[in-house]
Amino acid sequence: MSNLASVLALAAADDDWRDAALCRDTDPELFFPVGTTGQALVSQDHAKRVCEECTVKQACLDYALDTNQDSGIWGGLTEEERRVIRRRRAAEMRAARAAG
């Protein structure tokens, strides 16, 4: 996604869900662990547990995917888990274009 596309996606994104997000009352650093081992994995697991209880988890994930959030835990998924979804969606779009 280009920078311009990212800016346009952010401007058009619906973020009303944030008012109901459980993470509003949680230390933001929990959702943006530094590293991929040790304490970062503990923080990641804790953040995911918060997300599991959140009523706006899907809206959060949709926002992260729509606006290409590439850091942190969003909608209960890590950066890599969201990359897998984005790659799969891109492959599906390429296949649809090739078939159509």
Task: Report pLDDT for 100.
Answer: 74
pTM metric for this prediction: 0.80
What b-and-e string marks burial along 63-84, b requiring 16 or more CB atoms within 10 Å of the CB?
A: bbbebebeebbbbbbbeeebee
Task: Report pLDDT for 53.
Answer: 96
3 state DSSP class of 74: strand
Confidence of residue 1 (pLDDT cuts 50, 70, 90): low
Task: Report pLDDT for 15.
Answer: 80
Q: Which domain holds residue 68?
A: 3-99
3-31 per-position pLDDT tens digit: 555 555 555 567 888 999 999 999 999 99
Structural domain count of the chain:
1
Which structure tokens are listed for 80? 């890599």
35-85 per-position pLDDT tens digit: 888 999 999 999 999 999 999 999 999 999 999 999 999 999 999 999 999
The Cα 46–Cα 31 span in angstroms is: 9
